């Protein structure tokens, strides 16, 4: 009895979390995010300022995730090649992130920790994490592991060379 109740509550919390960060929300158009200055116009978040006056403000899903420290993507890099080419690899990652952020306002790097033998990166969207993993594999080969967790709500990526 207790056990099944707990399971149900756990599921409800998960569903609510998905709801909170859902990108296709029903928001008035245009809506402004006061944290990052993105705008929700006609069903999507964009950096373009709207032609109409903004009457509604709410934080976008990416800013909420960042504030809640609840990433959608996790990327780990390790291996001797990483250690030897750390700056080059991190530059590639930053470039991919800058391109994605310009096109998709909700896809951003949340945190980037780089140590001598490994780096850990979290992202606000699964798409960016996947793009980073694919860019590493395309440019530098190595071993890429990609796993979606919790349906497709989160992705775990490991790259090693």
Footprint of Zn ion on this chain (CB under 5 A)? 33, 35-36, 38, 60, 63
- Report the nearest approach of Zn ion to the CB of residue 78 (Å): 31
d(CA 36, CA 62): 9
Given a contact cutoff of 8 angstroms between Cβ atoms, the answer to whether 17 and 61 are in contact is no
- Report the nearest approach of Zn ion to the CB of residue 33 (Å): 3
**Nearer of residues 70 and 140 to Zn ion, judged by Cβ:** 70
**Nearer of residues 65 and 131 to Zn ion, judged by Cβ:** 65
**Nearer of residues 59 and 118 to Zn ion, judged by Cβ:** 59
d(CA 86, CA 118): 9
Name the nearest CA neighbour of 122 among 97, 91, 150: 97
Given a contact cutoff of 8 angstroms between Cβ atoms, the answer to whether 105 and 59 are in contact is no
- Report the nearest approach of Zn ion to the CB of residue 30 (Å): 13
**Nearer of residues 37 and 95 to Zn ion, judged by Cβ:** 37
- Report the nearest approach of Zn ion to the CB of residue 39 (Å): 10
d(CA 149, CA 63): 21
SS3 74: strand
**Nearer of residues 61 and 133 to Zn ion, judged by Cβ:** 61
- Report the nearest approach of Zn ion to the CB of residue 63 (Å): 3
Residue 1 makes CB contacts below 8 A (sequence gap 6+) with none
């Amino acid at each position: 009895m207790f056990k099944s109740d707990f399971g149900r509550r756990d599921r409800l919390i998960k569903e609510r979390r998905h709801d909170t960060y859902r990108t296709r929300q029903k928001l008035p158009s245009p809506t402004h995010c006061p944290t990052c200055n993105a705008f929700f116009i006609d069903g999507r978040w964009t950096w373009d300022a709207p032609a109409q006056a903004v009457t509604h403000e709410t934080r976008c899903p990416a800013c909420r995730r960042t504030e809640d420290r609840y990433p959608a993507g996790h990327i780990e890099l390790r291996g001797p090649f990483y250690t030897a080419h750390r700056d080059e690899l991190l530059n590639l990652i930053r470039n991919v992130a800058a391109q994605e952020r310009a096109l998709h306002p909700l896809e951003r790097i949340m945190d980037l920790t780089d140590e001598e033998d490994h780096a850990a990166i979290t992202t606000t969207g699964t798409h960016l994490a996947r793009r980073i993993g694919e860019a590493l594999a395309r440019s530098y080969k190595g071993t890429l592991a990609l796993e979606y967790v919790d349906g497709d709500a989160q992705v775990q990526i490991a790259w090693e060379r």
